[in-house]
Amino acid sequence: MNQHTRQLHVLGQRLWLDNISRSLLRSGTLQRYISELSITGLTSNPTIFEQAFAGDAYDESIRALNATGRTAEEVFFELALQDLTQAAELFRPIFDASGGLDGWVSLEVSPLLADNTAHTILVANTLYERAAKANLFIKIPGTPEGVRAVEEVIFDGVPVNVTLLFSPEHYLAAAEAYMGGIERRLASGLSPRIASVASLFVGRWDVAVKAEVSAPFHNRLGVAMAMRTYRAHRELLASDRWQALAAAGARPQRLLWASTGTKDLAAPDTLYVQALVAPNTINTLPEKTLRAFADHGKVGTPLPADGGYADAVLEEFRREGVDDHALAQRLQREGVEAFAMSWHAMLSRISEKRPA
């Protein structure tokens, strides 16, 4: 067992892998990450699958499914469900041992539905039913329309990973939707034990402002936004509203750090792992970042519950001309657009392998 990743596990933070591919499953690499590097879950997104399909590992399966007359989107979800249900089986012992707290995998709805509440609800329920795995999250973007879908899907009993959150305000909207769904379940005599995580994207903040601010400000904004969001999370868990739900048997919607691979070559390759240590949170890591932390990572000081110096840092950026509220909205929209581009590219790859 790796000492660096184990330290985070003992502290109470869980590491998930931000990747999925057929080769990762067939080679035994994912099982090794579970056994040796304390990986307790896995996330996926359209860009990850688009990159996985670039090789030839899926060619035979794609051709066979194309021959059945399925659309490219139907072929994709068939392949994604095959991979993720297999991964869910690998994580099932962790899921069972933790009473459903850990051992999760995530499948995202089409990013083309980011502004369509009704269709998101339908697809989320359908995918969860098709997967038939208790430890599978359906990922729904935290856009205004997506958040409305989250409440309905939670009420329907589907575990949700709310993705593409960038600010405390985004996080609180996702948390409100989660709590609203749980409250409606309780009012209907249903179990409140529906799991959810809220995924805050960190590194994209620093990429977005790098060209706009001087060198001393590089790679500081993402962590500051994460610290402010962590404070909002802790305050929400202390609120009367959440305490009432917890007393009724609900579990917290855990905060998940996403986009934690370092993009700046001048920065430490474990920057966002070491800076975002916090118990009862999750950090989902690209393979490169996971291996780097396992090799030479250091467990930093846990985040302060009160947000620490985050507000002071944010004021510095505002004086530099950064409008964090406007930037959060822009980053969320750009995130949806980037996933949509990957989605179209992935479907094109599938269509190209269609038999004549």
Catalytic residues: 139
| Cα atoms in the 13 Å half-sphere on the side-chain side of 219 | 16
Phi and psi angles of residue 290, each rounded to the nearest 5 degrees, phi first: -60, -50
Helix (H, G, I), strand (E, B) or coil at 140: strand
How many C-beta atoms lie closer than 10 Å to residue 247's C-beta?
8
**How far is it, in rounded angstroms, from Cα 27 to Cα 32?**
9
Q: Are 63 and 350 in contact (CB under 8 A)?
A: no
Angle, alpha carbons 7-262-141 (nearest 5°): 90
Going along the chain, which residue ranges are E strands?
14-18, 39-43, 104-108, 136-141, 160-165, 196-201, 254-258, 281-285
Q: How far are the Cα atoms of 41, 234, 288 from residue 306, in angstroms, in the given order?
A: 28, 8, 31
Provide CB contacts within 8 A for 170, sequence distance 6+. 142, 200, 328, 332
Q: How far are the Cα atoms of 39, 42, 87, 106 from residue 91, in angstroms, in the given order?
A: 9, 9, 6, 12
Q: Are 36 and 3 in contact (CB under 8 A)?
A: no
